[in-house]
Amino acid sequence: MLKSAADEDLVHACRAVLRGEEFQFPGRAVPSAGRSGGAPPTRDPLSHRELEIVKLIAEGHSARGIAGILHISEKTVDRHRGNVFAKLGLSDRVALTRYAIRHGLIEA
């Protein structure tokens, strides 16, 4: 995390750490200790649950519908959706649906 990072990035980083997730400042790969060659991580930036949320949103489900399917609260669905938009730099459902198609989460 850079000192010059925007306040919003700092908040997202803190929240990710509290959830036990890794946060990497967008646009800047920082090698982890013990990783040979300093290669950036190749894993998806989204958690398993966030990927589930993306898939269901892209399929057209409402927050209430997703909450029912996954047996979580609507507020939790909203929080995951906000995290997804922040992590991916997306602003609407259309862009999220494009992401889901490109990453094989749903078929066009």
End-to-end CA distance of the chain: give it in Å, rounded: 37
CA 94 – CA 79 distance, rounded (Å): 18
Q: What integer is the mean pLDDT of 37-41? A: 46
Q: Given this model, what pLDDT does residue 10 score? A: 66
Instruction: Find out whether 1 and 25 touch, Cβ atoms under 8 Å.
Output: yes
pLDDT tens digit sequence for 5-33? 566 666 777 777 777 776 665 544 444 44
Its sign, for the CA torsion 48, 78, 17, 32, is: positive
- Please report, for the chain, the start and end positions of each structural domain, with discontinuous segments joined by +: 1-30, 45-108
Give the right CATH number for 45-108 from 1.10.3660.10, 1.10.10.10, 3.40.50.150, 1.20.1600.10: 1.10.10.10
